[in-house]
Structure 1
Amino acid sequence: MTSPDGIGHLLRALREEAGRTRREQAEHLEQVSGRYVDPENVKRWETEKRLPIPDWHALIAGGYGISVEEVRRAVAASRRFRRLVSTSVLLEHQEEVSPVERREFLGVSVLAAGMAAEPWGRLAAAVAGPRVDGKVTDKLVDATADMFVSEHHLPARLLAERLGTHLETLTALIPRSGPHRQALTVAAGETAALAGWAAFDLGDMDAARNYYKTAALAGREAGQPAVVALAMGYASYAVAADKARDMLAAAQTHVRGAGYAAARSWLAAREAEEAAATGDREGAVRALDRATTAFDYADPDAEQAWIRFYQRPRLGSLMVSTYARLRHRDLEQTAQDALTHLGRDDSKVRIAVLADVATGYVVSGDVDQGVEVGKRFVQAATTTPTAMGRERLASLAELLPPQHGAARDLAETIRAALAA
């Protein structure tokens, strides 16, 4: 039995997402690292017969297109799961286990590990009747934050599975959470919003809309308007530009005051992007002014966990997207700034930034630059496949002028990748 959020499940999902056999994955790891990798090691990691030692973490991260921190978190989750399912002492030597220890195993530890979606987990929770105390609440809130960090790298399918399990755990605990009800409701609302984003990434629009509505309901119930703003921000990607613009303007009213500067900046930059799409130059520039002013006061790493993706390169890419539509004179400098601040990992943020910059160059007429950035975008988008990445690949292919040789070649490469 492998951990539902451990290293085995993660590596198997990433390998299958890339369409590789275990032997092919081992060969890929060798090519990336220059170090021999036994296919049996891949099998042992996936089945969790053996957990990767720290010496392998960087190699795995590079070969699977995720961060070293994500590898460490998954290995730690597998170790926790091993301890939880090692029940021989509990079952065979019950006289050696105190009622408190038994309760800890059957109740709090199971729920804090996010496994109540499993039948045995629900039964254990019912038998133990766990109390929701501050310790459990903190673990579940931290687990929610980790989901948003994982979203940067995990395929949507795998992320959706984890979110479903986590949301069931929160749902089961909220009615009995007493003074911790607000904190768990906020966590449930944030989880639902991210589940909607994953559903959108998988192309399930109905599920996405229902998750967003539920997230907003949880935010209102908990008296936490920022959760409502999060749901509206995600939902804005799935509607027409004029409606999205109104939605984003309304969302900004939910994140006023200290501690929400990054969220305000993100929503304002998205509003600018949609305003430019409707042809409102003045409105787009005003929204960007609000976005950049708010970002001057922002600290994404210290604010809500769900806004940590919004670093300088992401703001820059939204500015590029807006300036390209407006044919703005600051487009090229903004694009260069966004690329300068871009990290090296092939995360979903990197995909979004490269897509916006490549498209911005092509739209503005600088096809040569657009092709060069477009090549990097194609590599990132095919390394970490997402529905949004595929949509942006298709859009870029349509924009590339066929009379330009390098652009035509890139468009053919993109179409081949989309057809694979």
Structure 2
Amino acid sequence: MPEPNRLLRARREAKPSRTTPGQGMSRQELVKAVVAWLWDTTNTRYDLDPRLLAKWENGTVKWPAAHYRAALRAVLGASTDAELGFAPSGQLVPTTSGRLGPVVDVEPWRLTDALTRSAISGAALDHMEHAVLGYAARYPTTPPDELLPLVSGQLHRLREALDQPQHLRERRRSVVLLGVLAGLSGGLWLDLGRPGESADYFDIGEQAAQEAADPDLAAWVLATRSVGPFYAGHHDQAGELLARAEDLARARSSYRRQAWIAALHARAAAMAGDREGSLRALDRAHSALSSNTDAASGTDFFDGPRLDGIAGTVYLSLGDTAHAAPLLDAALDRRALSDAKGRALITLDLAECRLIENEPEEAARLTVGALRSAAGSLVGPILDRARGLHARLAPWRSTGAVTDLDTHLKELPRG
């Protein structure tokens, strides 16, 4: 069992609580104070979890990141890390009795060597970054079983690099890239119908974002993660993830990223029955995208055609096909032909519009077209949606278009 950090806990409890008279500061209060201090001094919004503070106090983590130590010193009125019970691995701080524990002797030249030695160069990381962002750009157009081996291979190389000494700046870049790859892996495993593996990789992506103190990466991982619960019908859960992502994105994300997250939030809110919240989020998406001046790149890909598609889905979910259908048509006209998965989902939304408007044969024809266009990339959400439409078209099964859909679905593998 690790030795608890009694100095840190004592400092916290000696600080008066602002909410409970006569009590010491709670962990939650300390977390809020640390985050506020970091925002005031660095203009960066950190997502500090109270569970991490608990690890500092119980001794599981003995040497927090430098920015957290600085914030704790300021909030708790300490002059040194040692006063808060923190010490690098291998070194013991003075105990409450005043006796100094054993100190490992480290020659200065060894510290200099450790600081300047790096197993990976900045140039190598440039190449890795180019590859990783290339995988992100290919995600919409590449079948998951083709892309996953490439992403997994790059993850293995980054893990090996992180096992070796690195400059701090190279290590942070490596951690960010690992977070992007973990998020991509989460999405790919989800596409392959493996939610357990998907959750594991999204957890790693969130951990990497926290380790790198990168709110933009955290926002991207959370938004990407929301796709799973959304298509599983857990729209409130997806909305909670997206609300967190929107908060993080305001700190340091591009307008393009903010627009994407707000649009996804609008879609989740619409499916959850929150009409007003959905339309407000859609307004935020339009406003953010209209403010964007940067070119799309890597994971920051959101654009007008994608916003049209999601807006069409929002209005369809709200039962307004008069607004939904033109937006979906416009999205299909402008969406890249190579984006097979995205185009298929938009086409299925349009098929639902036609079914609601009492055009069952057109709905069936569009559904078949969506399945054919996404051949090779028939991920779960596409198949589930097509089968749902097929079931609703049962009263018109004798018509030619519905018969064609029936035949097409029977030829597809189950799962």
CA distance in 1, matches of 2:226, 2:245: 10
Q: Which moved more, 1:203-212 or 1:227-236?
A: 227-236
**1:152 counterpart = 2:144:** no
Deviation at 1:156, TM superposition (A): 1.1
For the residue of structure 2 that corresponds to 1:288, the secondary structure is helix
Change (3 A) 1:229 1:400: farther
1:183-332 to 2 correspondences below 5 Å: 183-239=173-229, 240-256=234-250, 259-298=253-292, 301-302=295-296, 305-308=298-301, 310-328=302-320, 329-332=322-325
CA distance in 1, matches of 2:347, 2:225: 22
What corresponds to 1:122 in structure 2? none
CA distance in 2, matches of 1:335, 1:354: 8
CA distance in 1, matches of 2:290, 2:357: 28
For the residue of structure 2 that corresponds to 1:255, the secondary structure is helix
Deviation at 1:248, TM superposition (A): 0.8
- Kindly provide the CA deviation profile for residues 87-117 of structure 1, in whole angstroms up to 9, marking residues without a partner as x: xxxxxxxxxxxxxxxxxxxxxxxxxxxxxxx
Unaligned runs of 5+ in 1: 1-128
Structure (1 or 2) with the larger CA radius of gyration: 2
- Kindly provide the CA deviation profile for residues 190-245 of structure 1, in whole angstroms up to 9, marking residues without a partner as x: 00000011111111111100100110110111111122122211221222111111
Change (3 A) 1:333 1:153: closer
**1:176 counterpart = 2:165:** yes
Contact 2:263-2:307 at 8 Å conserved across structures = yes
The alignment-based identity, stated in percent, is 23
For the residue of structure 2 that corresponds to 1:340, the secondary structure is helix
For the residue of structure 2 that corresponds to 1:345, the secondary structure is coil
CA distance in 2, matches of 1:242, 1:398: 26
CA distance in 2, matches of 1:226, 1:257: 8
CA distance in 1, matches of 2:216, 2:387: 33
Deviation at 1:184, TM superposition (A): 1.1
**1:359 counterpart = 2:352:** yes
What corresponds to 1:95 in structure 2? none
Change (3 A) 1:180 1:396: same
Deviation at 1:146, TM superposition (A): 1.0
Change (3 A) 1:146 1:357: same
CA distance in 1, matches of 2:412, 2:145: 18
TM-score by length of 1: 0.63
For the residue of structure 1 that corresponds to 2:328, the secondary structure is helix
Contact 1:134-1:180 at 8 Å conserved across structures = yes
For the residue of structure 2 that corresponds to 1:307, the secondary structure is coil
What corresponds to 1:338 in structure 2? 331
1:399-414 to 2 correspondences below 5 Å: 399-400=392-393, 402-403=395-396, 405=399, 408-414=402-408
Deviation at 1:259, TM superposition (A): 5.0
Contact 1:324-1:364 at 8 Å conserved across structures = no
Change (3 A) 1:333 1:201: same
Change (3 A) 1:295 1:376: farther
Change (3 A) 1:269 1:367: farther
For the residue of structure 2 that corresponds to 1:223, the secondary structure is coil
CA distance in 1, matches of 2:161, 2:155: 10
CA distance in 2, matches of 1:419, 1:136: 42
Contact 1:242-1:278 at 8 Å conserved across structures = yes
Change (3 A) 1:335 1:155: closer
Contact 2:371-2:378 at 8 Å conserved across structures = no
1:57-68 to 2 correspondences below 5 Å: none
Change (3 A) 1:335 1:158: closer
For the residue of structure 2 that corresponds to 1:206, the secondary structure is helix
Supply the RMSD in Å over aligned alpha carbons.
2.4
Change (3 A) 1:212 1:370: same
TM-score by length of 2: 0.64
Counterpart of 1:374, as a letter, is: T
Q: Which moved more, 1:221-230 or 1:397-406?
A: 397-406
Contact 1:346-1:380 at 8 Å conserved across structures = no
**1:397 counterpart = 2:390:** yes
Counterpart of 2:236, as a letter, is: D
CA distance in 2, matches of 1:343, 1:367: 27
Contact 1:272-1:285 at 8 Å conserved across structures = yes
Contact 1:325-1:363 at 8 Å conserved across structures = no
Change (3 A) 1:407 1:318: farther
CA distance in 1, matches of 2:394, 2:413: 20
Contact 2:140-2:342 at 8 Å conserved across structures = yes
CA distance in 1, matches of 2:217, 2:125: 18
Change (3 A) 1:414 1:330: same
Contact 1:402-1:408 at 8 Å conserved across structures = no
- What is the aligned residue count? 290
What corresponds to 1:375 in structure 2? 368
Contact 1:400-1:411 at 8 Å conserved across structures = no
More helix by share: 1
Q: Which moved more, 1:339-348 or 1:227-236?
A: 339-348
Counterpart of 2:202, as a letter, is: Y
1:137 to 116, 125, 128: 125
What corresponds to 1:23 in structure 2? none
Unaligned runs of 5+ in 2: 1-116
Contact 2:236-2:269 at 8 Å conserved across structures = yes
Deviation at 1:378, TM superposition (A): 1.8
For the residue of structure 2 that corresponds to 1:382, the secondary structure is coil
